[in-house]
Amino acid sequence: MNILYIFAHPEPKSFNSAMKEAALRTLNELGHEVKLSDLFAMRFKPVLDRSDFLQPKRTDVFNPFLEQMNASKNGTFSRDIMDEMEKVRWADMLIFQFPIYFTGFPAMMKGWIDRIFAAGFAFNPATQSAYGTGLLKGKKAMLVMTAGAEGSLYSKGGMHGDIHELLRYMTHCTLEYTGLEVLPPHIIFGAGKMSEERVDREMHTYTAKLRSAVPSDRE
Clarify whether 160 is annotated catalytic: yes
Of 31, 148, 151, 192, which one is the catalytic site residue?
A: 148
Our answer to whether residue 186 is catalytic in this structure is no
Burial profile 148-186: b = 16 or more Cβ within 10 angstroms, e = fewer: ebeeeebeeeeeeeebeeebeebbeebbbbbbbebbebb
Give the residue from 85, 155, 151, 91 showing the smallest Cα distance to 122.
85
C-alpha to C-alpha distance for 189 and 172, rounded to whole angstroms: 22
Give the residue among 60, 167, 66, 44 at the shortest CA–CA distance from 118. 66
What's the distance, Cα to Cα, between the start and end of the chain in Å? 12
Residues paired with residue 49 on neighbouring β-strands, in sequence order: none
Are the C-beta atoms of residues 21 and 9 closer than 8 Å to each other? no
Sign of the alpha-carbon torsion through 199, 201, 203, 206? negative
158 counts as catalytic: no
Burial of 218 (0-12, 13-18, 19+ CB in 10 A): exposed
Work out the burial of residue 195: count CB atoms within 10 Å of its CB; fewer than 13 is exposed, 13-18 middle, 19 or more buried.
Answer: exposed
- Catalytic hit among 154, 177, 179, 206: 154
Of 160, 161, 164, 190, the active-site residue reads: 160
Q: Any idea which residues carry the catalytic annotation?
A: 148, 154, 160
